[in-house]
């Protein structure tokens, strides 16, 4: 049976990968080895494997001898990354480097998840492809770019998949909007940042499609279509049958209300260009994916 190490298994994507490979798994998935057809998922979170510790990573990889490593672990708190830059670099960059080195030594494939925040997003009117230059505005984006660079430098066989606006089983924007709607008649949401809300289950399907192949390289992986955060919020509330009104505001207005906000790209729509060029895989439309997600929450 082929063993796949999953880091960050308790995050939204880690849970979605477990649900896809091994059927619906409720609750925490750490401390578990899950058989899934020809694969065995070796689930780890920080308690089982500190990816910032090169010796621990090498020891673990040598013991497991994985077919592949799927790196879902990341420091994703965008605002907190500004204050805790060293920790962000340790997890998002050094952690990725350590897994890349371990993958190369053990002959494993590495699936590394990155982000739309590697792009600047200013004065942009067309979706970013994998061939566009990166230029992150935030510490989060900078650390994720460094992680990509380390993967390219140290991994022999790798897939880097950039995603965006991810939601799934865990804390996310959609759930925040639903929670706020319980005691707010109006919610102010930014309307001048646009991107592609992406379901963790859809991203897991793309990972499952790519992993058995030799189709290595850099990919964008987001649901099709795009919207603003305000549009996304309005659709979530509409699907939930809520009467709370969304008040669209500019990033500048929102920052006055929340002054410690990190810079975010105003335009971060990703074109899944490499998937289109090299595979038959296609993500669902974002509206269809969020509808399916909301139905599953009921």
Q: What is the mean pLDDT of residues 148-170?
A: 97
159 is a domain residue: yes
Confidence of residue 31 (pLDDT cuts 50, 70, 90): very low
Give per-residue pLDDT as tens, 213-271: 999 999 999 999 999 999 999 999 999 999 999 999 999 999 888 887 888 999 999 99
How would you class 31 by CB atoms within 10 Å of its CB: exposed for 0-12, middle for 13-18, buried for 19 or more? exposed
Residues annotated as catalytic are 140
Q: What percent of the chain has pLDDT over 70?
A: 96
Output the pTM of the full model.
Answer: 0.95
22 is a domain residue: yes
Confidence of residue 29 (pLDDT cuts 50, 70, 90): low
- In whole angstroms, give the CA distance from residue 153 to residue 23: 35
191 is a domain residue: no
Confidence of residue 34 (pLDDT cuts 50, 70, 90): confident
Question: What pLDDT score was predicted for residue 258?
Answer: 80
- In whole angstroms, give the CA distance from residue 7 to residue 245: 38
261 is a domain residue: no
Q: CB-hemisphere CA count at 13 Å for 296?
A: 18
Q: How many structural domains compose the chain?
A: 1
Q: Where are the alpha helices (DSSP H) in 218-268?
A: 229-239, 251-257
47 is a domain residue: yes
Q: What is the residue whose two structure tokens read 């959609």?
A: 174
Q: Which residues contact 251 (CB under 8 A, 6 or more apart)?
A: 190, 192, 193, 264, 266
Domain carrying residue 208: 2-172+196-226+267-287
257 is a domain residue: no
With CA atoms as reference, report the closest residue to 7 among 141, 143, 111: 111
**Which of the two residues, 32 and 111, has the higher pLDDT score?**
111
242 is a domain residue: no
Question: What pLDDT score was predicted for residue 261?
Answer: 81
85 is a domain residue: yes
Mean pLDDT of the chain: 94
Confidence of residue 298 (pLDDT cuts 50, 70, 90): low
Give per-residue pLDDT as tens, 97-138: 999 999 999 999 999 999 999 999 998 999 999 999 999 999
Give per-residue pLDDT as tens, 274-294: 999 999 999 999 999 999 999
**CATH value at residue 50:** 3.40.50.720
Question: What pLDDT score was predicted for residue 124?
Answer: 92
């Amino acid at each position: 049976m082929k063993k796949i190490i999953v880091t960050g298994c308790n995050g939204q994507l880690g849970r979605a990968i477990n649900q896809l490979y091994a059927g619906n798994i409720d609750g925490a998935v750490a401390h578990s080895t899950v058989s899934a057809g020809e694969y065995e998922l070796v689930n780890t979170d920080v308690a089982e494997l500190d990816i910032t510790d090169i010796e621990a990573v090498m020891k673990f990889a040598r013991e497991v001898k994985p077919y592949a490593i799927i790196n879902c672990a990341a420091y994703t708190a965008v605002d907190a990354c500004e204050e805790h830059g060293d920790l962000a670099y340790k997890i998002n960059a050094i952690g990725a480097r350590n897994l890349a080195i371990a993958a190369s030594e053990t002959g494993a494939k590495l699936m590394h998840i990155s982000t739309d925040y590697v792009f600047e997003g200013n004065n942009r009117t067309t979706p970013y492809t994998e061939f566009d230059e990166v230029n992150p505005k935030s510490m989060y984006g900078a650390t994720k770019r460094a992680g990509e660079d380390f993967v390219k430098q140290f991994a022999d066989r790798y897939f880097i998949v950039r995603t965006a606006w991810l939601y799934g089983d865990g804390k996310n924007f959609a759930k925040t909007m639903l929670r706020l709607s319980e005691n707010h008649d109006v919610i102010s949401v930014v309307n001048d940042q646009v991107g592609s809300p992406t379901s963790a289950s859809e991203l897991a399907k793309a990972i499952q499609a790519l992993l058995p192949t030799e189709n290595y390289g850099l990919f964008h992986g987001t649901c099709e279509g795009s919207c603003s955060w305000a549009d996304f919020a309005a659709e979530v509330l509409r699907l939930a049958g809520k009467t709370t009104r969304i008040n669209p505001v500019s990033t500048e207005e929102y920052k006055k209300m929340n002054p410690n906000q990190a810079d975010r790209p105003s335009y971060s729509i990703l074109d899944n260009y490499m998937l289109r060029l090299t595979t038959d895989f296609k993500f669902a439309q974002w509206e269809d994916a969020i509808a399916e997600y909301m139905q599953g929450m009921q």
